[in-house]
Structure 1
Amino acid sequence: MTTSPADAPARPSPDPARPSPAPGPKGIRLLSTLLKVRDDPMGTFRRVHQEYGDVVRLDTGVPGVRPRLYLVCSAEGAHEVLATQAANFRKDNVMYDVIRESMGNGLLTSQDDEYLRQRRLIQPLFTRRRVDGYADAACAEAEALAGRWSTAPDATVDLTTEMPGFALSTLCRILFGADGRAALAVMSRCLPVLVDYTLERGNSPLRLPRHWPTPRNRRAAEARRGLYALCDEIIAERREGRGRAGTAASTGAGTGASTGAGGSAAAEGDGEDLLSLLIAASGENGDALGFAELRDQVLIFLVAGHETTATGLAIALHLLATHPEAQARAREQVDRVLAGRRPDAADLDRLPYLTMVLKEAMRIQSPVPFVSRRAVADTVIDGQPVPAGADVMVCGAVAQYNPEHWPDPARFDPERFTPEREAERPRYAWFPFGGGSRACIGRHFSMLESVLCLAVLLQRYEVDPAGPPVELGNTVTLKENGPLRVRLRARTPHPAPRNG
């Protein structure tokens, strides 16, 4: 996959004391590289990494004013950008500006004192003990999904729609509680429109003013208004101490089938939802999140919180379908540990092979292929100079295919993630949840939800591949792989253990 052409330049041997200019393609080779990025981004970046080294400069745009883009493709470079030199790399680039315009300034995009304040207020809501309390809700959503699959036409489902639907419905339930069903209807309709628009706008060299009445601008503005109106209404009513359980049916509950979820399984009496906890959160001085901040956090949680989970689950199930030995081992562990009962939070540690499968799935198809930053001052990353003002793209999807740490990287091998083998690798050889002080606050929730969902589905079904083979790992988003179809075979229920 990453064979270097015969005329590729020799990889540099940087001297940390006197680093030479960062290498990269020039002239016709640069133009060819940029053209290939559109059709095969991950494959192209891996070839560039092999040809030029761990830090690669790509000049794009008009000479003299074109931006300076640096690809950082190594574990050491990722460690420096995300952790040891994190203060020098800010979220001041175009993509983060576009996200702020679309979804506000939540925990993903805020910086400096504002970020620290938000993190202090929100962190207590994501302790392991608190997150474990959402296990039952995640299992209920997984069981609802498994039930819907029993009526799938030809016993075949497309994971690229089913798993995002599950992840979004689970988040709506946990965020909004009794309002989850109504929220899911709006989120399913509006959120994909705004996310796609934001990603396309952030990656486009030409961005028309958002107020121009183009069809895409109008659709995005309508979707944003719908999301904001929903969040504002629920937040206002919660702050006034009123619930919406009695009005959920009248606002469109259960109409989220277009996402593949078929509607949330949320029910009254689930206990405190995350939005209520966010409203009640306060700091030592009585500080609390304002109205707009609450809305921004909710939208960021929904966007960032369901994509990682959905990608990991979809790729994991597809890989298990095409690797029957691994699937048999996963089912054996599920049957032995659970013996037919519903899984709970404590089972996360009792089902280590499922965790290994999910981690390997996220290595092969990274849910977050890039982490972007802008350099504040001149610095050196992994032995190569990076000037102030340069855009830096830390390429996790490339680092996670580096044969130095991942032999035969395209091969599916959950055994790469045994505790012993993880300890042998650099910390940033695998980082789908980011790293440093800005590591994803929801990592434990994502892994808990994913393991429990996978366990529930493997209790009910065996999965076989359906459709032509799909080459994983070369796309930026899950849906760009095309349909990931699997055929379901219902399993004989495992007898549940008797009480006493």
Structure 2
Amino acid sequence: MAQTFAAVTVAAATGAGGSKRIPGPPGLPLVGSLFDLTRRPLRTYLDARRDYGDVVRFVAGPPGLRAEFHAVFSPEGAHQVLAGQAANFRKDNSFYDELRTSLGNGLLTSQDGDYQRQRRLIQPLFTRRRVDGYARAVGLECRALADRWRAAPDGVVDVAGEMSRFALRTVSRILFGSDVEAAVDVVHRSFPVLGEFVLERGFAPVRLPLSWPTPSNRRGGAARRDLYAVCDRIIAERARRAERFGGAPGGPDGTGGAHGPGGSGGAEDLLELLTRARGEGGERLDPDELRDQVLIFLLAGHETTATSLAFALFLLAKHPEQRRLAQREADAVLGGREPQAADLEALPYLTRVLKEAMRLYPPASQMGRRSVEESVVDGHVIPAGAQVILAPWVTHRHPAHWEEPDRFDPDRFLPEREKARHRYAWYPFGGGPRACIGQHFSMLESVLALGALLRDFDLEAVDRGVRLGQGITLQVKSPMRVRLTPRG
């Protein structure tokens, strides 16, 4: 039935002016668009939308190793790929293959029955009530960060590096509770190496066997082993502790003991909850699956949040009027206390600031899928087996949906203006059945941290521009320095 429907839709689109040959840049004679996509992918996508429209065909690589893929830039096309025709667009490309190999078959990378089972087990851990319980961990890390900032030499910090470490410490505290120190240094050191390794192999025209002792394979393998070892060690210690206390996770009273997210007792950290998660038939995550989920949460829970927070702070450091509005709201709501989950609803301007930062600098600036059957996306025929790229970086700047798209304007996200826009004109958390399970946590952590830091510090940009790169997520490749002035 689905195949018949798809065939009818394709035939109708072709008859109505759809074309099997999608327009795109010719590129260079021997390598197509390889150099442009390697050296400046975000600029290349923006230029392609301007010159060729909302669905663009790229070819890249030398003859015999040439790859072809289709980039979709419109909100309508993003909706069709992620939601309307989600079953037809799978995470089956070489990048996701490498991500699975290096970081396991967790919620970000799994598919079909594995994904459905994992989602059922993990979804209860990300309800609003559960996530709100992690606010205390955010407050503890905000306090430690503010103390360090007050001692910064010359009052200057690089917010990209600072937010990366802050977000990593926060998600590690929520995952591991008081075991946070055992993981942070290893993850901080190993993730960038492994991320570069995954990206390099995911987009290589020829992938050498992992068993070959190349310098890249040795570096990637060492980083992977270090990450696996620290996660396995913490998981095994939790299992031994549970046995010691008669099967009650975390402590003799089964409450998580001293291992809650705040590290001071009485609350369960996420690893405790993952360990105890059960399906309707009693199924659970085995130790390897636990490790896979932990690694995915560490990746998704720190790189994306760090990028959003860094750019929100940097943009406010360059825009004094918006910064003063944000500080006025933070002062009124937070006063002199630590932020709480209930404060999120009382910080609408800070929420708009964060959304605008994520519009201009979406951490997941591009997403990949593979089509199963021939289908129609935004009026264009996508062949069966085609590689498809979605680019929030471009969609978030689409001139048909965003006036003066490069201008920083948090009020774009006033409720009435959001309601008037296409749902997929802004989609930093993806969409459809594979939308990010942690988006409420990301917003909670980011808005509360932003409020606490703006309450405590004035910010002035030292660097005016930023050099960007593309890793697993959007990467900052140059300093993002701001000068801090403690506020009374």
Alignment of 1:376-395 (within 5 A): 376-395=372-391
Aligned to 2:151: 151
> Please, what TM-score do these two structures have when normalized by structure 2?
0.90
**Deviation by residue 1:209-254 (Cα, 9 ceiling, x = unmatched):** 212112221121111111111111211221233599xxxxxxxxxx
Instruction: Tell me the distance in 2 between the aligned counterparts of 1:226 and 1:348.
Output: 36
SS of 1:486's partner is strand
| One-letter amino acid of the structure 1 residue matched with residue 405 of structure 2 | P
Tell me the CA shift for residue 473 of structure 1: 7.2
- 1:105 maps onto 2:101 in alignment: no
Among candidates 284, 289, 306, match of residue 288 of structure 1: 284
Tell me the CA shift for residue 189 of structure 1: 2.1
**Deviation by residue 1:255-289 (Cα, 9 ceiling, x = unmatched):** xxxxxxxxxx9634262110010010001110111
- 1:470 maps onto 2:469 in alignment: no
Given that 2:26 and 2:32 are in contact with CA atoms closer than 8 Å, whether structure 1 keeps it comes out as no
Deviates more, 1:16-25 or 1:162-171: 16-25
- 1:220 maps onto 2:216 in alignment: no
Among candidates 396, 402, 410, match of residue 400 of structure 1: 396
Given that 2:107 and 2:118 are in contact with CA atoms closer than 8 Å, whether structure 1 keeps it comes out as yes
Report runs of 4+ in structure 1 exceeding 4 Å deviation: 27-33, 62-65, 471-478
Aligned to 1:440: 436
RMSD of the TM alignment (CA)?
2.0
Tell me the CA shift for residue 59 of structure 1: 1.6
**Inter-CA distance 362–29: structure 2 relative to 1 (3 Å threshold):** farther
| One-letter amino acid of the structure 2 residue matched with residue 470 of structure 1 | G
**Deviation by residue 1:85-141 (Cα, 9 ceiling, x = unmatched):** 000011110000000110110000111111000000000000000000000111110
Given that 1:237 and 1:243 are in contact with CA atoms closer than 8 Å, whether structure 2 keeps it comes out as no
Given that 2:49 and 2:55 are in contact with CA atoms closer than 8 Å, whether structure 1 keeps it comes out as yes
- 1:414 maps onto 2:410 in alignment: yes
Aligned to 2:329: 333
Given that 1:365 and 1:473 are in contact with CA atoms closer than 8 Å, whether structure 2 keeps it comes out as no
SS of 1:191's partner is helix
SS of 2:460's partner is strand
Aligned to 1:258: none
Among candidates 252, 256, 269, match of residue 273 of structure 1: 269
**Deviation by residue 1:157-197 (Cα, 9 ceiling, x = unmatched):** 00121101000000110001121111112212222221221
Aligned to 1:321: 317
**Inter-CA distance 166–103: structure 2 relative to 1 (3 Å threshold):** same
| One-letter amino acid of the structure 1 residue matched with residue 428 of structure 2 | P
Deviates more, 1:182-191 or 1:446-455: 182-191
- 1:74 maps onto 2:69 in alignment: no
Among candidates 361, 369, 372, match of residue 373 of structure 1: 369
Among candidates 348, 352, 362, match of residue 348 of structure 2: 352
Alignment of 1:255-266 (within 5 A): none
Given that 2:49 and 2:73 are in contact with CA atoms closer than 8 Å, whether structure 1 keeps it comes out as yes
**Inter-CA distance 65–156: structure 2 relative to 1 (3 Å threshold):** closer
Given that 2:395 and 2:426 are in contact with CA atoms closer than 8 Å, whether structure 1 keeps it comes out as yes
Aligned to 1:190: 190
Instruction: Tell me the distance in 1 between the aligned counterparts of 2:196 and 2:477.
Output: 16
Query: What number of residue pairs does the alignment pair up?
Result: 458
Deviates more, 1:179-188 or 1:415-424: 179-188
**Deviation by residue 1:324-353 (Cα, 9 ceiling, x = unmatched):** 000000000011122222211011010011
Deviates more, 1:31-40 or 1:472-481: 472-481
SS of 1:398's partner is helix
| One-letter amino acid of the structure 2 residue matched with residue 371 of structure 1 | M
Q: What residue ranges of structure 1 are gaps of 5+ in the alignment?
A: 1-13, 245-264, 493-500
Instruction: Tell me the distance in 1 between the aligned counterparts of 2:176 and 2:346.
Output: 30
Given that 2:182 and 2:230 are in contact with CA atoms closer than 8 Å, whether structure 1 keeps it comes out as no
Instruction: Tell me the distance in 2 between the aligned counterparts of 1:31 and 1:295.
Output: 40
SS of 1:464's partner is strand
Aligned to 2:420: 424
Aligned to 2:210: 210
**Deviation by residue 1:381-420 (Cα, 9 ceiling, x = unmatched):** 0000100111000111100010111111110000011111
Deviates more, 1:210-219 or 1:50-59: 210-219
| One-letter amino acid of the structure 2 residue matched with residue 274 of structure 1 | L
SS of 2:476's partner is helix
- 1:19 maps onto 2:45 in alignment: no
Tell me the CA shift for residue 66 of structure 1: 2.9
Aligned to 1:160: 160
Instruction: Tell me the distance in 1 between the aligned counterparts of 2:317 and 2:192.
Output: 27
**Deviation by residue 1:440-480 (Cα, 9 ceiling, x = unmatched):** 0000000000011111111110000113x215778665543
Instruction: Tell me the distance in 2 between the aligned counterparts of 1:405 and 1:317.
Output: 25
Instruction: Tell me the distance in 2 between the aligned counterparts of 1:43 and 1:320.
Output: 24
Instruction: Tell me the distance in 2 between the aligned counterparts of 1:92 and 1:38.
Output: 21
SS of 1:241's partner is helix
Given that 2:33 and 2:60 are in contact with CA atoms closer than 8 Å, whether structure 1 keeps it comes out as no
Instruction: Tell me the distance in 1 between the aligned counterparts of 2:92 and 2:103.
Output: 16
Instruction: Tell me the distance in 2 between the aligned counterparts of 1:307 and 1:379.
Output: 33
Tell me the CA shift for residue 205 of structure 1: 2.4
> Please, what TM-score do these two structures have when normalized by structure 1?
0.88
